[in-house]
Amino acid sequence: MSHPDLRAAKRIDIHAHYYPGSFVDMIEAQGCACGACVRRTPKGPVIDAGPLHAGPLAARFTDLDLRIADMDAQGVDVQALSLTQPMVYWAEPVLARRLSACFNDELVLAHERHPTRLLGLAMLPVHHAGEALAELERIADAPGICGVYLGTHIGDMDLADPALWPVYEAIEACRLPVFLHPLKVIGMEDRLKPYFLSNLLGNPFDTTLAAAKLIFGGVLDRFPALDFVLPHAGGALPFLIGRLSHGASVRPELAHLAASPASYLQRFHYDTIAHDEGALDYLIRLVGADRVMLGSDYCFDMGVERPVDIVEASPVLSNEGINQILGGNAQRLLRL
């Protein structure tokens, strides 16, 4: 399908990962006492934090010049940089805050170096509410910070745990969206351990579980102005929403819900990382083009190398819908 005039909005990749060298160095120097260590390999550093691993981290994860060159090749104008596993929830309070501050300061430096190309999604040590609130106050108005990044599971807490509600309240007051990413996924140490299933299935399943907890646990009702962004095209949520809604109509465990789970679909935003044209088209039809944003999962092998091309080739989108997904929705959500 031919789509003229596709440059009306900046192309903004809202799912792109970054591991600053100083962050890795801090884990290497201070993390082992909390169970996280760094191994240096010829292909790059590897972070081991119990069952959570990251790496080998190729140069593109840390080198901003290589990143900008890749963005140019992809046709991406802006990336919103985020951390991913092991994040910081494995660390004791002081180190978790220190690691979060290190990462957040590097986001600001990246934005200041490339102010039109790079933005930041802040990391908070939300498993220690006091440290998280202090770090949010410090970083919320810093240059380039446009959102907060959370794991789908916070240490031993799920996202509906009331211990997290003071942090949600503060994030909502700052008018920052919350971006989720799978972490410590269900089944990763037993049934999903073979065949890389902890990622292939565990990641989308954990996103689905987190979304269900936010709905059933009352978080979306208690914080009506708080935006949540689901990765990997919402995981299995778009395909199981009918089952969740049916369950809510017949099961006593869900009698507390004031509305059907299906009514919450538009409370979430979603990225485009579906790895299947039909699945992405279904998501767009289900939630609307105004709830979907460009994502690449840069630069993991499970990411999308040509994220813009996938959107522009969609047979179900108008020019307006394409521009919304490529950047218009992100510009609105991130208040650019």
Asked if residues 166 and 133 have their Cβ atoms less than 8 Å apart, the reply is yes
User: What is the torsion angle, in degrees rounded to the nearest 10, for the CA atoms of residue 203, residue 238, residue 232 and residue 146?
Assistant: -120
In a domain, 329, yes or no: yes
In a domain, 275, yes or no: yes
Asked if residues 287 and 270 have their Cβ atoms less than 8 Å apart, the reply is yes
pTM greater than 0.75: yes
In a domain, 154, yes or no: yes
12: confidence class by pLDDT, cuts 50, 70, 90: very high
105: confidence class by pLDDT, cuts 50, 70, 90: very high
pLDDT tens digit string along 122-171? 999 999 999 999 999 999 999 999 999 999 999 889 999 999 999 999 99
In a domain, 90, yes or no: yes
Averaged pLDDT, 6-22: 86
3: confidence class by pLDDT, cuts 50, 70, 90: very low
Sheet containing 36-41: which strands, arranged edge to edge? 36-41, 44-49, 52-54
Above 70 in pLDDT, residue 267?
A: yes
Residues sharing a CB contact under 8 Å with residue 236, sequence separation 6 or more, in sequence order: 204, 205, 207, 208
In a domain, 44, yes or no: no
pLDDT tens digit string along 213-263? 999 999 999 999 999 999 999 999 999 999 999 999 999 999 999 899 999
Number of domains in the chain: 1
1: confidence class by pLDDT, cuts 50, 70, 90: very low
Above 50 in pLDDT, residue 18?
A: yes
Give residue 219's domain range. Answer: 12-19+60-333
The mean predicted confidence, pLDDT, of the chain is 92
CA distance 107 to 190: 35
In a 13 Å sphere around the CA of 165, the CA atoms on its Cβ side amount to: 13
Asked if residues 238 and 181 have their Cβ atoms less than 8 Å apart, the reply is no
In a domain, 53, yes or no: no
CA distance 200 to 254: 29
C-alpha pair distances (Å), 232 with each of 24, 107, 276? 25, 23, 11
Structure confidence at residue 198 (pLDDT): 80
In a domain, 54, yes or no: no
In a domain, 226, yes or no: yes
Q: What is the CATH number of the domain that holds 187?
A: 3.20.20.140
Averaged pLDDT, 159-186: 95
